[in-house]
Amino acid sequence: MGLCFNVLGSGSSGNSTLVSDGATNILVDAGLSGREIARRLGEYGLSPEKISAIVVSHDHGDHCRGVAPFVKNLDIPVFMTTAAFEASGIRVKSSKHRAISPGESFEIGGIAVTGFAVPHDAADPLGFVLEKDGVRVGIALDLGFMSNLVIERLKGCAGIVLESNHDVAMLKAGPYPWALKQRVMSRSGHLSNDAVAKYLACDFDGTAAHVVLAHLSRHNNLPELALLSAQRALEERSDMRRRQTKVELSYSDKISKTYCY
């Protein structure tokens, strides 16, 4: 088989995605509590002992708060840039930390993992492409805009997990302080529904069978809005790519369906 992925949870309360080839099981981010990650893995059919590694995108708590409790009694390596590891304050044995760098490729049990820089206000934030037997899965969650590098790295992916954080009108009218609104809307903040739609309409290569929308804000977005915006962007394309790609949602409170290629 190639690769399967399941978004165990995605949102401000915590983000974690399982990518597996059936033998090697990788967590991309561990922002849920250690206990909740274990519970959701159980729903998927895996025990914590079956996790091969954790790959962490950046130092914000909703992506890494569950790392230390999850690996405490397990021999699981944690792949993370040195800057992000130090900024996170994660308390794990130094022997478990594997330093990585943007643009570097490394292997975990035969799955190739490549981190790429994303525009976000964190220490060395990364997106990831995981590849096995020519099947590529791309994950880009916290980013202020779709940079040329991100667009390029997501080309050729069979499945993409992509942030669709907020509806701009809802954010502007919502309860956040103005300074926080500015941060979210900035080029180092979070990706809006409109930005995702523009990417799908203009820059998406059409390879992916699925684009799974993730990291939806509870206060500044609605699942229906995010999904409709993305679907309309694909429908407006004049080529065949709109018919080949399904846009679906991930959730903060439950695991997604499993996507296999």
pLDDT digit string, tens, across residues 14-52? 999 999 999 999 999 999 999 999 999 999 999 999 999
Q: Rounded to whole angstroms, what are the CA distances from 198 to 35, 49, 117, 127, 229?
A: 38, 41, 20, 19, 10
- The model's pTM is 0.97
What is the DSSP track for 59-124?
A: SSHHHHTTHHHHHTTS---EEEEHHHHHHHT----GGGEEEE-TT-EEEETTEEEEEEE---SSSS
For the record, the structure tokens of 11 come out as 């949102």
> Taking Cα atoms as reference points, which of 257, 166, 164, 165 lies closest to residue 209?
257
Per-residue pLDDT, averaged over 219-229, amounts to 98
The distance in angstroms from the start CA to the end CA of the chain is 7
Exposed, middle or buried by CB within 10 Å (0-12, 13-18, 19+), for 215? buried
Question: Would you list the domain boundaries of the chain?
Answer: 4-260
For the record, the structure tokens of 60 come out as 């914000």
| 4-260 homologous superfamily | Ribonuclease Z/Hydroxyacylglutathione hydrolase-like (3.60.15.10)
For the record, the structure tokens of 241 come out as 């790519």
Centre a 10 Å sphere on the Cβ of residue 64 and count the other Cβ atoms it contains.
Answer: 27
pLDDT digit string, tens, across residues 135-147? 999 999 999 999 9
